[in-house]
């Protein structure tokens, strides 16, 4: 048994108990959440109060400049339902979010499995594959806008290898512009998903794999029955980050295509920007922002519930 300091001393030799100062006693008596109060107050003034006030403007016809405006009730939301551009932007947003989530995480998992193997250049490959994730999204977008232009490097490379039929205006064609945007985002953030999956893979005990191999399980069986359940937390994090990031996507889309050609790549975020700062329809754009917030909240909550249940079942 371990004795506390001075517990072995006779009573007459023990130092007297020192009464803590009043300031320390008051601090110990305070509930722990009091220490978070300054941050909560700052969050309320900077984020919460402006957000709640902004929701009110979604029910007005405010143009962003005129101090006088009218309360129009649900008219902005009714206009949104009748607006084909808004409906198309919502469809594009969900399509981009789902595509990015599926492709980026599948590619990230394959890359993680590859660089987790015992190859000599695995550390160099990890740095090389993760490098695009640390570049500013705007810089990445402008870089790829030049590469994907009609006379850019991508079309030149296709022509050099004899694939002239594949050359096209990657960002100017309504049929492929949206998928070009998805490809650029997957290129940038697949390494980010790889790092999270790699952390999950390295937490899997080697003894478990060795025991499964001794029992006769092949690589595919070992991955499905041993690795996959233990990767559930990493999968949950990756899916949450990619789906929320895909729904809120703005900067890469706007820098690559500006939402065009026409409205072929418009998302809810780019439409909010155009309606607010180009057309001066702040009330309508805030109504779109409210819908975007609801979509993010609903998708995030549903995804969290499903993935948490699967994670508990896998463990």
pLDDT in tens, 240-284: 889 888 888 898 999 999 888 888 899 999 999 998 888 889 999
Q: What is the pLDDT of residues 17-45, one digit of tens each?
A: 667 777 777 777 777 777 888 899 999 99
The whole-number pLDDT of residue 224 equals 83
Continuous H helices in the chain = 22-29, 37-43, 49-57, 75-82, 84-115, 122-130, 137-147, 153-160, 177-202, 206-214, 219-222, 228-230, 232-247, 251-256, 268-277, 282-314
pLDDT for 67: 81
Q: Greater confidence, 212 or 40?
A: 40
- Cα 85 to Cα 139: distance, rounded to the nearest angstrom: 28
Between 212 and 133, whose confidence is greater? Answer: 133
pLDDT at 181 over 70: yes
Residue 42: partners with Cβ closer than 8 Å, 6 or more residues away: none
pLDDT for res 11: 57
More confident residue, 93 or 313: 93
**Contact yes or no for 23/249 (Cβ under 8 A):** no
Calculate helix-pair angle for 122-130, 84-115, nearest 10 degrees.
Answer: 170
Give me the pLDDT at residue 177, please: 93
> For residue 203, what pLDDT is reported?
82
What secondary structure does DSSP assign to 110-135, as a single string?
Answer: HHHHHHTSS-TTHHHHHHHHHGGGGS
Candidate from 51-60, 111-120, 156-165 with smallest mean pLDDT: 111-120
pLDDT, residue 1, reads 45
The phi, psi pair for 253, rounded to 5°, reads: -65, -45
| Cα–Cα dist 174/151, whole Å | 18
Arithmetic mean of pLDDT, 138-155: 92
Please say if the pLDDT value at position 147 is more than 60: yes
Higher pLDDT, 313 or 180: 180
> Which pLDDT score, from 0 to 100, does residue 16 have?
62
Mean pLDDT, the chain, whole residue set: 85
What's the pLDDT score for residue 29?
Answer: 75
State which fold the 74-314 domain adopts.
MetI-like fold (1.10.3720)
At 19 the pLDDT is 74
Higher-scoring residue by pLDDT: 176, 30: 176
Mean pLDDT, residues 80-104 taken together: 92
Interval 95-121 mean pLDDT: 89
The pLDDT score that the predictor gives to residue 2 is 47
């Amino acid at each position: 048994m371990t004795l506390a300091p001075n517990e072995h001393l006779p009573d007459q030799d023990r130092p007297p108990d020192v009464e803590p100062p009043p300031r320390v006693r008051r601090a110990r008596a305070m509930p722990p959440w009091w220490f978070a109060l300054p941050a909560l107050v700052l969050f309320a003034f900077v984020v919460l109060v402006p957000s709640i006030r902004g929701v009110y403007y979604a029910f007005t016809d405010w143009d962003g400049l005129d101090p006088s405006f009218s309360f129009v009730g649900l008219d902005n939301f009714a206009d949104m339902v009748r607006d084909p551009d808004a409906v198309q932007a919502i469809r594009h947003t969900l399509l981009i979010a789902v595509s990015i989530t599926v492709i980026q995480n599948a590619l990230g998992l394959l890359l993680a499995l590859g660089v987790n193997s015992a190859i000599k250049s695995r550390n160099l490959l990890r740095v090389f594959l993760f490098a695009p994730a640390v570049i500013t999204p705007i810089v990445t977008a402008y870089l790829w806008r030049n590469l994907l232009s009609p006379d850019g490097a991508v079309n030149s490379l296709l022509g050099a290898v004899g694939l002239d039929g594949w050359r096209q205006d990657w960002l100017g064609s309504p049929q492929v512009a949206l998928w070009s945007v998805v490809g650029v985002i997957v290129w940038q953030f697949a390494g980010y998903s790889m790092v999270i999956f790699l952390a999950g893979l390295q937490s899997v005990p080697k003894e478990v794999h060795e025991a499964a191999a001794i029992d006769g399980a092949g690589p595919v069986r070992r991955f499905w029955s041993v690795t996959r359940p233990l990767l559930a937390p990493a999968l949950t994090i990756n899916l949450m980050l990619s789906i929320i990031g895909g729904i809120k996507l703005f900067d890469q889309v706007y820098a690559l295509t500006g939402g065009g050609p026409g409205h072929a790549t418009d998302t809810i975020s780019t439409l909010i920007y155009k309606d607010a700062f180009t057309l001066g329809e702040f009330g309508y754009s805030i109504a779109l922002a409210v819908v975007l917030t609801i979509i993010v909240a609903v998708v995030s909550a549903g995804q969290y519930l499903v993935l948490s249940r699967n994670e508990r079942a896998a463990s």
